[in-house]
A and B are shown apart, each in its own frame.
Chain A
Amino acid sequence: MAAADGIARRDVLAGAAALTAAALVPPPALAQGAAQAANVAASALRQAFGGRPVQLGKVKLAVPVLAENGNSVQMTVGIEGGAVPKRIVLVAPGNPYPAAAEIRFGPRAARGEATLRLRLARSQTVVAGAELADGSLWAATAEVTVTSGACAETFE
């Protein structure tokens, strides 16, 4: 019963994904959501990490669920437990130029954490990837609904 429901919902979601307003859809089933997030993260981080495999986890990405204005969306990205990574990469796949920022941490950084403000052209899944001190790659994603995108007149 539960499985059947899951499949039905997956089909509906897949079919209607392009048309459905993201804000109206309840959070998808956990497994599916994670798989989707992993795909989004992998493709967004391909350039920055040279196609090396990236796992979901260890990275924290705090973004408002709803942003009224895409011109400036504040977000905090960090590593769980405050560990200092080699670098953190932020990607906004829905932007005309997705590579948003790369933060490399030096010996005087106290925590692997930073807050900054990005322009988001439209509602999208923002991806943060981190290369930890041991060289392992981790990522987190966060969905943001943007009511009025940055420079709406340019990117309809």
Chain B
Amino acid sequence: MTETAPVTMKMLVKMPAEANKGEAFELRAIAMHPMENGLRRDMDGKVIPRKILNRFVCRYNGETVIDCDWGTAVAANPYMAFQVKAVDSGTVELEWTDDDGSVHRHSAAIKVV
């Protein structure tokens, strides 16, 4: 039996609500996803098909912070931490793309003072 895709994906995102203009702030994000690498077998010996998040993008007011391609070597519940340049108040958007084509999004407001 293979696990079916949850329509909504849980995610945990940590970033400050406020940052100083021109400074960097850290964003940490975990997506709850099994990252099935397509190499494992189930109890009946059948290969469990590959199903991973293959792309992760972070945008800040529409401009790219990072844009990642992920392979099967990325661990389950993929974690990513990186530094964002605080420029203007606005929205930080995160986007994960699943092998099945579904896109999971999260956005958070940032106030730049």
Contact = CB atoms under 8 A, between A and B. Distances in A.
A19 to B, nearest CB: 26
A111 B83 contact: yes
A73 to B, nearest CB: 7
B66 to A, nearest CB: 6
B82 A106 contact: no
A11 B63 CA distance: 53
Nearest to B23: A110
| Interface residues of chain B: helix, strand, loop or mixed (majority) | strand
Interface string A100-119: 11111111111101111111
B80 to A, nearest CB: 5
A108 B70 contact: no
Contact of B69 (A102, A110, A111, A113): A102
B82 A92 contact: no
Given A115-B81, A154-B41, A107 B76 contact: no
B67 interface: yes
Given A104-B66, A109-B85, A115 B73 contact: no
B75 A72 contact: yes
Contacts of A71: 75-76
Contact of B71 (A97, A104, A105, A151): A97
B72 interface: yes
Contacts of A99: 71, 73
B96 to A, nearest CB: 13
B29 to A, nearest CB: 10
Given A97-B72, A100-B71, A119-B72, 12 more contacts: A74-B79, A92-B73, A100-B70, A102-B69, A104-B64, A107-B64, A108-B59, A109-B85, A110-B85, A116-B80, A118-B74, A118-B75
Interface of A: 71-74, 90, 92, 95-111, 113-120, 150-151, 154-155
